[in-house]
Protein backbone atom coordinates (compact mmCIF):
# COMPACT_ATOMS: atom_id res chain seq x y z
CA UNK A 1 0.00 0.00 0.00
CA UNK A 2 1.39 3.36 -1.00
CA UNK A 3 1.27 5.79 1.90
CA UNK A 4 2.70 9.20 2.58
CA UNK A 5 4.10 10.45 5.88
CA UNK A 6 0.58 10.97 7.24
CA UNK A 7 -0.34 7.38 6.48
CA UNK A 8 -2.68 8.45 3.68
CA UNK A 9 -3.18 5.95 0.89
CA UNK A 10 -3.23 7.82 -2.44
CA UNK A 11 -6.21 7.67 -4.78
CA UNK A 12 -5.98 7.90 -8.56
CA UNK A 13 -9.49 8.41 -9.96
CA UNK A 14 -10.42 8.60 -13.61
CA UNK A 15 -13.27 10.90 -14.61
CA UNK A 16 -14.52 9.77 -18.01
CA UNK A 17 -16.94 12.72 -18.24
CA UNK A 18 -19.40 12.37 -21.16
CA UNK A 19 -17.26 9.81 -22.95
CA UNK A 20 -17.58 6.11 -23.50
CA UNK A 21 -19.97 3.61 -25.04
CA UNK A 22 -20.09 -0.03 -23.99
CA UNK A 23 -16.98 -0.82 -26.05
CA UNK A 24 -14.95 1.50 -23.81
CA UNK A 25 -15.33 -0.96 -20.95
CA UNK A 26 -12.48 -2.94 -22.49
CA UNK A 27 -10.19 -0.08 -21.41
CA UNK A 28 -11.52 -0.28 -17.86
CA UNK A 29 -11.06 -4.05 -17.91
CA UNK A 30 -7.43 -3.62 -18.94
CA UNK A 31 -6.88 -1.31 -15.95
CA UNK A 32 -8.66 -3.74 -13.61
CA UNK A 33 -6.63 -6.70 -14.82
CA UNK A 34 -3.31 -4.86 -14.48
CA UNK A 35 -3.80 -3.73 -10.88
CA UNK A 36 -2.77 -6.99 -9.13
CA UNK A 37 0.64 -6.83 -10.80
CA UNK A 38 1.40 -3.39 -9.38
CA UNK A 39 2.23 -4.74 -5.94
CA UNK A 40 2.13 -3.10 -2.54
CA UNK A 41 3.07 0.33 -3.84
CA UNK A 42 -0.18 0.73 -5.76
CA UNK A 43 -2.62 3.51 -4.85
CA UNK A 44 -6.35 3.01 -4.66
CA UNK A 45 -7.72 3.20 -8.20
CA UNK A 46 -11.18 4.29 -9.29
CA UNK A 47 -12.96 4.91 -12.57
CA UNK A 48 -16.01 7.18 -12.75
CA UNK A 49 -17.79 6.34 -16.02
CA UNK A 50 -20.91 7.99 -17.43
CA UNK A 51 -24.11 6.87 -15.71
CA UNK A 52 -25.00 4.62 -18.66
CA UNK A 53 -21.99 2.40 -17.89
CA UNK A 54 -21.97 2.61 -14.10
CA UNK A 55 -23.85 -0.59 -13.31
CA UNK A 56 -22.05 -2.67 -15.92
CA UNK A 57 -18.60 -1.49 -14.85
CA UNK A 58 -19.42 -2.06 -11.19
CA UNK A 59 -20.62 -5.58 -11.97
CA UNK A 60 -17.49 -6.54 -13.91
CA UNK A 61 -15.23 -4.96 -11.28
CA UNK A 62 -16.83 -6.53 -8.22
CA UNK A 63 -14.23 -8.30 -6.10
CA UNK A 64 -11.32 -6.61 -7.89
CA UNK A 65 -9.03 -3.77 -6.84
CA UNK A 66 -10.81 -1.33 -9.17
CA UNK A 67 -13.34 0.91 -7.43
CA UNK A 68 -16.20 2.54 -9.34
CA UNK A 69 -17.63 6.01 -8.81
CA UNK A 70 -20.40 8.17 -10.22
CA UNK A 71 -19.91 11.61 -11.77
CA UNK A 72 -22.75 13.49 -10.07
CA UNK A 73 -25.86 13.05 -7.95
CA UNK A 74 -29.00 14.98 -7.04
CA UNK A 75 -29.33 16.23 -3.45
CA UNK A 76 -32.66 14.42 -2.98
CA UNK A 77 -33.03 10.68 -2.50
CA UNK A 78 -35.92 10.49 -4.99
CA UNK A 79 -38.53 12.69 -6.63
CA UNK A 80 -39.69 14.45 -9.77
CA UNK A 81 -36.26 15.28 -11.17
CA UNK A 82 -36.23 14.00 -14.73
CA UNK A 83 -32.78 13.03 -15.96
CA UNK A 84 -31.13 13.13 -12.54
CA UNK A 85 -29.90 10.24 -10.42
CA UNK A 86 -29.75 10.21 -6.64
CA UNK A 87 -26.80 9.16 -4.53
CA UNK A 88 -28.84 6.16 -3.44
CA UNK A 89 -29.32 5.15 -7.08
CA UNK A 90 -25.58 5.48 -7.71
CA UNK A 91 -24.84 3.28 -4.72
CA UNK A 92 -27.48 0.77 -5.83
CA UNK A 93 -25.76 0.64 -9.24
CA UNK A 94 -22.47 -0.27 -7.55
CA UNK A 95 -20.70 3.05 -6.96
CA UNK A 96 -18.63 3.59 -3.84
CA UNK A 97 -18.08 7.32 -4.44
CA UNK A 98 -19.44 10.26 -6.38
CA UNK A 99 -17.78 13.36 -7.82
CA UNK A 100 -19.57 16.59 -6.84
CA UNK A 101 -18.87 20.20 -7.71
CA UNK A 102 -16.71 19.57 -10.75
CA UNK A 103 -15.94 22.84 -12.50
CA UNK A 104 -17.89 21.71 -15.55
CA UNK A 105 -20.97 21.23 -13.38
CA UNK A 106 -20.39 24.57 -11.68
CA UNK A 107 -20.00 26.33 -15.05
CA UNK A 108 -22.46 24.44 -17.26
CA UNK A 109 -25.22 24.04 -14.69
CA UNK A 110 -24.68 27.00 -12.40
CA UNK A 111 -23.93 24.89 -9.34
CA UNK A 112 -23.12 27.11 -6.36
CA UNK A 113 -21.18 26.02 -3.29
CA UNK A 114 -24.40 25.39 -1.35
CA UNK A 115 -25.62 23.00 -4.05
CA UNK A 116 -22.30 21.18 -4.01
CA UNK A 117 -22.54 20.92 -0.23
CA UNK A 118 -26.05 19.47 -0.51
CA UNK A 119 -24.84 16.89 -3.02
CA UNK A 120 -21.91 15.93 -0.77
CA UNK A 121 -24.35 15.54 2.11
CA UNK A 122 -26.47 13.31 -0.10
CA UNK A 123 -23.45 11.16 -0.88
CA UNK A 124 -22.77 10.72 2.83
CA UNK A 125 -26.44 9.96 3.45
CA UNK A 126 -26.26 7.16 0.91
CA UNK A 127 -23.01 5.75 2.27
CA UNK A 128 -20.84 7.04 -0.57
CA UNK A 129 -17.61 8.97 -0.44
CA UNK A 130 -17.85 12.48 -1.86
CA UNK A 131 -15.05 13.70 -4.12
CA UNK A 132 -15.54 17.46 -3.78
CA UNK A 133 -13.96 19.53 -6.55
CA UNK A 134 -12.68 23.07 -6.13
CA UNK A 135 -10.55 25.39 -8.26
CA UNK A 136 -10.09 28.88 -9.67
CA UNK A 137 -10.61 30.34 -13.13
CA UNK A 138 -7.79 31.92 -15.08
CA UNK A 139 -9.18 35.38 -14.34
CA UNK A 140 -9.17 34.66 -10.62
CA UNK A 141 -5.64 33.30 -10.85
CA UNK A 142 -4.34 36.36 -12.72
CA UNK A 143 -6.00 38.60 -10.12
CA UNK A 144 -4.16 36.79 -7.34
CA UNK A 145 -7.37 35.33 -5.90
CA UNK A 146 -6.52 31.62 -6.07
CA UNK A 147 -6.29 30.99 -2.33
CA UNK A 148 -9.29 33.22 -1.60
CA UNK A 149 -11.44 31.29 -4.07
CA UNK A 150 -10.22 27.89 -2.90
CA UNK A 151 -10.86 28.71 0.75
CA UNK A 152 -14.34 30.06 -0.04
CA UNK A 153 -15.23 26.92 -1.97
CA UNK A 154 -13.94 24.70 0.82
CA UNK A 155 -16.00 26.59 3.38
CA UNK A 156 -19.16 26.49 1.30
CA UNK A 157 -18.91 23.07 -0.32
CA UNK A 158 -17.90 20.70 2.49
CA UNK A 159 -20.74 19.56 4.77
CA UNK A 160 -20.38 19.04 8.51
CA UNK A 161 -20.77 15.29 7.95
CA UNK A 162 -17.34 15.12 6.29
CA UNK A 163 -14.54 13.03 7.75
CA UNK A 164 -11.40 11.32 6.49
CA UNK A 165 -13.31 8.18 5.47
CA UNK A 166 -16.08 9.76 3.41
CA UNK A 167 -14.59 12.88 1.84
CA UNK A 168 -11.88 13.57 -0.73
CA UNK A 169 -10.97 17.04 -1.97
CA UNK A 170 -9.89 17.49 -5.59
CA UNK A 171 -8.10 20.71 -6.51
CA UNK A 172 -8.57 21.35 -10.22
CA UNK A 173 -7.47 24.76 -11.50
CA UNK A 174 -10.14 25.39 -14.12
CA UNK A 175 -7.71 27.00 -16.53
CA UNK A 176 -5.65 23.80 -16.62
CA UNK A 177 -8.45 21.32 -17.33
CA UNK A 178 -8.14 19.92 -20.83
CA UNK A 179 -5.78 22.69 -21.94
CA UNK A 180 -2.48 20.90 -21.53
CA UNK A 181 -1.40 23.66 -19.14
CA UNK A 182 -0.43 22.92 -15.57
CA UNK A 183 0.56 25.11 -12.63
CA UNK A 184 4.17 24.96 -11.55
CA UNK A 185 5.00 22.40 -8.86
CA UNK A 186 5.50 25.29 -6.42
CA UNK A 187 2.03 26.64 -7.24
CA UNK A 188 0.42 23.23 -6.70
CA UNK A 189 2.28 22.74 -3.43
CA UNK A 190 1.20 26.18 -2.19
CA UNK A 191 -2.48 25.55 -2.90
CA UNK A 192 -2.45 22.05 -1.44
CA UNK A 193 -0.74 23.33 1.71
CA UNK A 194 -3.49 25.96 2.07
CA UNK A 195 -6.16 23.30 1.58
CA UNK A 196 -4.54 21.08 4.20
CA UNK A 197 -4.42 23.92 6.73
CA UNK A 198 -8.05 24.75 6.06
CA UNK A 199 -9.08 21.13 6.57
CA UNK A 200 -7.01 20.82 9.74
CA UNK A 201 -8.47 24.02 11.16
CA UNK A 202 -12.00 22.78 10.55
CA UNK A 203 -11.76 19.03 11.12
CA UNK A 204 -8.70 18.58 13.33
CA UNK A 205 -7.02 15.20 13.05
CA UNK A 206 -9.45 14.11 10.33
CA UNK A 207 -8.45 17.14 8.30
CA UNK A 208 -4.83 16.04 8.45
CA UNK A 209 -5.80 12.68 6.96
CA UNK A 210 -8.30 13.66 4.26
CA UNK A 211 -7.03 12.94 0.77
CA UNK A 212 -6.36 15.96 -1.44
CA UNK A 213 -6.12 15.09 -5.14
CA UNK A 214 -4.64 17.20 -7.89
CA UNK A 215 -6.45 17.43 -11.22
CA UNK A 216 -5.89 19.51 -14.32
CA UNK A 217 -4.07 18.01 -17.31
CA UNK A 218 -2.49 15.18 -15.33
CA UNK A 219 -0.72 12.92 -17.82
CA UNK A 220 2.01 10.29 -17.85
CA UNK A 221 4.72 12.86 -18.55
CA UNK A 222 4.02 15.00 -15.46
CA UNK A 223 2.42 12.53 -13.05
CA UNK A 224 5.50 11.55 -11.07
CA UNK A 225 6.52 15.17 -10.40
CA UNK A 226 3.02 16.32 -9.45
CA UNK A 227 2.07 13.31 -7.35
CA UNK A 228 5.27 13.45 -5.29
CA UNK A 229 4.50 16.94 -3.96
CA UNK A 230 3.61 17.47 -0.28
CA UNK A 231 -0.13 17.16 0.47
CA UNK A 232 -0.86 15.73 -2.98
CA UNK A 233 -2.52 12.41 -2.19
CA UNK A 234 -3.37 11.32 -5.70
CA UNK A 235 -4.99 12.61 -8.85
CA UNK A 236 -8.35 13.15 -10.49
CA UNK A 237 -7.57 12.36 -14.11
CA UNK A 238 -9.68 13.41 -17.09
CA UNK A 239 -8.81 12.57 -20.68
CA UNK A 240 -5.78 10.46 -19.82
CA UNK A 241 -8.02 8.01 -17.96
CA UNK A 242 -9.86 7.02 -21.13
CA UNK A 243 -6.97 4.89 -22.37
CA UNK A 244 -5.72 2.10 -20.13
CA UNK A 245 -2.11 2.59 -21.19
CA UNK A 246 -2.08 6.27 -20.20
CA UNK A 247 -4.07 5.78 -17.01
CA UNK A 248 -1.83 2.92 -15.87
CA UNK A 249 1.25 5.04 -16.56
CA UNK A 250 -0.12 7.65 -14.15
CA UNK A 251 -0.98 5.01 -11.56
CA UNK A 252 2.57 3.63 -11.85
CA UNK A 253 3.93 7.00 -10.71
CA UNK A 254 3.50 5.45 -7.24
CA UNK A 255 5.35 2.24 -8.13
Query: Which residues are identified as catalytic?
Result: 102, 172
Task: Give the phi and the psi of residue 217 in degrees, each rounded to 5.
Answer: 60, 40
Amino acid sequence: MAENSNGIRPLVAGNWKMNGLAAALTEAAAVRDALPSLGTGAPEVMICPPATLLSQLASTSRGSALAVGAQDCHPSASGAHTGDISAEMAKDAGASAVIVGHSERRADHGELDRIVQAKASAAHRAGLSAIICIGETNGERVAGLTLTVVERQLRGSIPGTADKTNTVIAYEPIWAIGTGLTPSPNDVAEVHAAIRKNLEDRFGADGLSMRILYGGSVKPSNARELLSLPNVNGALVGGASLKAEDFLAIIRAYA
